[in-house]
Structure 1
Amino acid sequence: MSEPDFKYFSRFRNQLFHIVFGTDTRSGKLFDIVLLWAIVLSVISVMLESVSSIREAYDDVFFVTEWLFTVLFTVEYLLRLFITAKPKKYAFSFFGIIDLLATLPTYITLFVAGGSYLVVIRSIRLLRIFRILKLGRYLREASVLSDALAASRYKIFVFLGAVFTLAMIMGTLMYMIEGGESGFTSIPRSIYWAIVTITTVGYGDIAPQTVLGQAFASMLMLMGYAIIAVPTGIVTSEIASAEKNKRKEESAGRVCAACGIKGHDKDAIFCKNCSAKL
């Protein structure tokens, strides 16, 4: 490939990168909108196909539609591998795996034949529902929420550990107080009751019968309402912080085609990470 051809190829690849991975251009937004509709319609098609009366009436339509969606998502996946600077990194990333799973089920059914394998084929085709996970890339709010959950994961883990410890203590106490006569036949079963009570679900399959047991249950129910508010406050605080960071990122959201780093100034010419031309 001559130098002019290489420069043209590099420029063309860079333009495709900004369309597929970026959202700061009109063509990039159009690309995302088309894929959003394709994903939603594909998932709706899978759900409708599970209704026997609809499937029998429109079996040919579902067959053609599924192959159209499969070809579209296959082209998208190969395009992302082609334009990214590190194809292997993308292929093994979360969204890379999801993109691959969005295309595989229909192709797998071509190699699984025979009446005895019909159940397997149906199960494989149900994996198409995971295409809904592809929506995460195109929803700004999903990005904010994932950042908030990632930032608050340690606080949430500590909180869940404290709640589980409380459930073990209360469950053991209820096992000692009530015993098998009231349905608390073991400590694990009593812990199950404590978890159901703390979360205010209250199935009612186990209930304390003694006055002391009912007093402990009442206290645990009231604690449950207070406990539920804790993770809500943690995540809400992190969402506000993630939203602020996302706005800063979007205000300078140019993407480098070479390394994929975001956050460049709008008037920047070279990447601040790898020095490649933007």
Structure 2
Amino acid sequence: MESDQEFEPGIDLREKRKILYEGDRFAETEGLSPWRKKVNEVIFGFDTPAGRNFDIALLVAILLSVLVVMLESVSELRDQFGELFIVLEWVLTILFTFEYLLRLSCVRKPWDYAISFYGVIDLLAILPTYVAVFLPGSQSLIVIRALRLIRVFRVLRIAHCLREAENLWIAWKATQSKIAVFLLVVLTLVLIMGSTMYLIEGPENGFSNIPISVYWAIVTMTTVGYGDIAPQTVLGQILASVAMVLGYGIIIVPTGIFSVEVISAGRHEKHVEVPCSNCDLHFHERDAVYCRHCGSRLPRKGAEEVSESEG
């Protein structure tokens, strides 16, 4: 009998949406007081006019906050509008803090939201300003608020983008071990290349120690080529040429590994779990009417329910 395993994604279809759709499960209002229900509908109910307007206003505030941080880093603008930037930064931080507290107060399980993906991002978005009181300069980390722009997918109803993002997430999870092994091999090559170049060139040609030589190997093998250090001897130049050629291969390998998994994840998206009553084959294409293994008619009601639930 043909195995179902080839059609089963590396991550369960029900689990892979844990991050991108995490906010949906906090929109449940059963058991909440009237005012908490109303606040929940506005904050989490992106399908209502009030919720949509709230999310749009929130996205504008996030963009404004990130823009303020970027402009403040320009010395000319900081000297001229420094006080204005500080006021705007604190006003926006206080608003985000109030919004974060409202989110915690209008969900059934505040702690679950606090440790969720969006909850952690919301907390990290407001911490830098407060931390900057004790550690000046850390307010630059406010740019982490840009991660909150993920909500734009929900606001603009471009769900197909979320599906593609899910496929990338699945591909990343599936390739972690392969890429880890590959990076270990690359690290070994870099150490060998750097140490060898140190022996060939030596301190008189700029390769003063092995760490500096390893730095040169990384820059060369990644085809960056800053040019601050370059081999002067013929043997060193030959080794540098070998490192450059290897660099192109290093770029291709992880790209190929990841691309294969992305294609595989997209292929799995075309299948749903609809068990065949005759041969017990579970995964079939969404529009399949008959079992691809035994030819028996599939329970279309079940297939349609699965398809709708994943859509």
TM-score tier, shorter chain, comes to 0.5 to 0.7
* Structure 1 position 105, deviation (Å): 4.5
Partner residue in 2 for 1:253:
none
Q: Does 1:70 align with 2:93?
A: yes
Distance verdict in 2 for CA 1:105–1:162, change over 3 Å: closer
Partner residue in 1 for 2:289:
none
Give the one of 105, 111, 136 matched to 2:150: 136
* Structure 1 position 232, deviation (Å): 2.2
2: CA distance between counterparts of 1:267 and 1:216? Answer: 58
Q: Does 1:207 align with 2:221?
A: no
Distance verdict in 2 for CA 1:216–1:56, change over 3 Å: closer
Partner residue in 1 for 2:119:
96
2: CA distance between counterparts of 1:221 and 1:62? Answer: 46
* Structure 1 position 201, deviation (Å): 1.6
**SS of the residue 2:217 aligns to:** helix
- For the Cα contact (< 8 Å) 1:39–1:131, is it kept in 2? yes
* Structure 1 position 83, deviation (Å): 3.6
* Structure 1 position 71, deviation (Å): 3.6
Tell me the percent identity. Answer: 51
Q: Gaps spanning 5+ residues in structure 1: where?
A: 1-5, 250-263, 269-278
The alignment's C-alpha RMSD in Å is: 4.0
Distance verdict in 2 for CA 1:153–1:52, change over 3 Å: same
* Structure 1 position 64, deviation (Å): 5.0
Within 5 Å, give how 1:133-172 maps onto structure 2. Answer: 133-139=147-153, 140=161, 143-144=165-166, 145-172=168-195
Q: Which amino acid aligns with 2:150?
A: G
Scaled by the length of structure 1, the TM-score of the pair is 0.66
Distance verdict in 2 for CA 1:41–1:242, change over 3 Å: farther
2: CA distance between counterparts of 1:204 and 1:48? Answer: 32
2: CA distance between counterparts of 1:209 and 1:184? Answer: 10
* Structure 1 position 242, deviation (Å): 5.3
Q: Which amino acid aligns with 2:185?
A: A
* Structure 1 position 224, deviation (Å): 0.6
Q: Does 1:45 align with 2:59?
A: no
Q: Gaps spanning 5+ residues in structure 2: where?
A: 1-28, 154-160, 273-304
**How many pairs does the alignment contain?**
240
1: CA distance between counterparts of 2:209 and 2:129? Answer: 48
Give the one of 246, 253, 258 matched to 1:235: 258
Distance verdict in 2 for CA 1:178–1:20, change over 3 Å: same
- For the Cα contact (< 8 Å) 2:37–2:106, is it kept in 1? yes
* Structure 1 position 59, deviation (Å): 5.5
Distance verdict in 2 for CA 1:175–1:159, change over 3 Å: same
**SS of the residue 2:32 aligns to:** helix
Deviates more, 1:142-151 or 1:39-48: 142-151
Q: Which amino acid aligns with 1:130?
A: I
Distance verdict in 2 for CA 1:185–1:56, change over 3 Å: closer
Structure that is richer in helix per residue: 1
2: CA distance between counterparts of 1:184 and 1:63? Answer: 46
Q: Which amino acid aligns with 1:73?
A: F
- For the Cα contact (< 8 Å) 2:42–2:48, is it kept in 1? yes
- For the Cα contact (< 8 Å) 2:31–2:108, is it kept in 1? no
**SS of the residue 1:201 aligns to:** coil
